[in-house]
């Protein structure tokens, strides 16, 4: 097998072996993530320590082979190494080797779980492709409106948190403004843990206002995304100027180009 054939299999998904390679890789990633998750349960992790140890080393060696191969066959190895996926790949094998020299590698677990992001490569396979493009497009075109909305939410949350800190007089959990802001986020998003609840009458009135505010403004991002999805759903790209049009448009609304019936 030539290097360029291998490249097609490892880095691309437009051939059958390329897709098969990706599917095998995804199952390995899922398996290793599952091992990390289950190992963290003290009763299971301690009992079967050797088993999890073995799985981890097997996985690490397999992923190391994959990583080295990717560097070897890449036309521009440095570009791959410092790309997002290149870093994820490197960081997901290093913790196991590091554990030979250091005792606690507790914090490395996060890095290994990030390998799970690779699973999203499955979206490039088959029928999910157009669906995920649709969702990403709708989210991207909502981005500006959503960030204006999030800015407003942040301002509301900071002001509400400060008011609450003053109203509850620095007691019962509301010991600082950041604590008040944390409470405001818990309340506005309607999560409502109940670890911090207003005790005073004025505090209860303020939280009632915060709750109803949160209840009403949840409608805003929903509206934004629904409108963008409706738009993406009706897109009809103009061949002359590349601008999106209503799916049933007869003329491009940007350049006046007539669409073929």
Task: Return the residues of window 170-189 that contact a second copy according to CB under 8 A.
Answer: 175-178, 181-182, 185-189
One residue of 15, 46, 54, 230 binding a second copy per CB under 8 A: 230
Of 59, 120, 56, whose CA–CA distance to 84 is shortest?
120
**Under the criterion CB under 8 A, does residue 139 sit at the interface with a second copy?**
yes
**Under the criterion CB under 8 A, does residue 251 sit at the interface with a second copy?**
yes
- Decide: 209 and 194 in contact? Cβ < 8 Å: no
SS3 state of residue 236: strand
Beta bridge partners of 237: 244
Stretch touching a second copy by CB under 8 A, among 11-19, 64-72, 84-92, 157-165 = 157-165
**Under the criterion CB under 8 A, does residue 125 sit at the interface with a second copy?**
no
CA–CA dist 131, 40 (Å, integer): 34
List all residues 6 or more positions away from 127 whose beta carbon is below 8 Å from its beta carbon: none
Half-sphere exposure of 125 (CA within 13 A, CB side): 18
Stretch touching a second copy by CB under 8 A, among 11-19, 56-64, 86-94, 109-117 = 109-117
Q: Given the complex with a second copy, which of 9 and 186 has the nearer CB atom?
A: 186
One residue of 51, 150, 171, 240 binding a second copy per CB under 8 A: 150
The distance of closest approach from Cβ of residue 104 to a second copy in the complex, given in angstroms and rounded to an integer, is 11
Which parts of 3-62 interact with a second copy (CB under 8 A)? Answer: 33, 36-38, 40-42
Q: Given the complex with a second copy, which of 8 and 235 has the nearer CB atom?
A: 235
- Decide: 51 and 39 in contact? Cβ < 8 Å: no
One residue of 65, 113, 125, 206 binding a second copy per CB under 8 A: 113
The distance of closest approach from Cβ of residue 99 to a second copy in the complex, given in angstroms and rounded to an integer, is 15
Q: Given the complex with a second copy, which of 62 and 211 has the nearer CB atom?
A: 211
CA angle 224, 219, 195 (to 5 degrees): 125
CA angle 47, 48, 53 (to 5 degrees): 135
Report how far Cα 73 is from the mean position of its chain's Cα atoms.
29
The distance of closest approach from Cβ of residue 96 to a second copy in the complex, given in angstroms and rounded to an integer, is 16
């Amino acid at each position: 097998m030539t290097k360029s054939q291998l490249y097609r299999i490892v880095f691309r998904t437009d051939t059958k072996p390329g897709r098969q390679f990706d599917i095998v890789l995804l199952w390995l990633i899922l398996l290793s993530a599952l091992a990390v998750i289950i190992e963290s349960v003290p009763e299971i992790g301690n009992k079967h320590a050797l088993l999890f140890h073995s799985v981890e080393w097997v996985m690490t060696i397999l992923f190391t082979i994959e990583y080295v191969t990717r560097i070897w066959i890449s036309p521009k190895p440095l570009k791959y190494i410092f790309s997002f996926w290149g870093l994820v790949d490197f960081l997901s094998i290093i913790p196991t080797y590091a554990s030979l020299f250091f005792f606690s590698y507790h914090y490395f677990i996060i890095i290994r779980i990030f390998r799970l992001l690779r699973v999203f490569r499955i979206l490039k396979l088959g029928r999910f492709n157009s669906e995920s493009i649709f969702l990403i497009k709708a989210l991207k075109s909502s981005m500006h409106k959503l960030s204006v909305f999030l800015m407003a939410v942040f301002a509301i949350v900071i002001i509400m948190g400060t008011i609450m800190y003053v109203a509850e007089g620095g007691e019962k959990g509301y010991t600082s403004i950041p604590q008040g802001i944390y409470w405001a986020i818990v309340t506005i998003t309607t999560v409502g843990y109940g670890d911090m609840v207003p005790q005073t009458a004025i505090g209860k009135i303020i939280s009632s206002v915060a709750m109803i505010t949160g209840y009403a403004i949840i409608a805003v991002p929903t509206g934004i995304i629904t409108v963008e999805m409706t738009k993406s759903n009706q897109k009809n790209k103009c061949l002359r100027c590349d601008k999106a049009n209503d799916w049933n448009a007869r003329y491009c609304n940007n350049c006046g180009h007539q669409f073929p019936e």
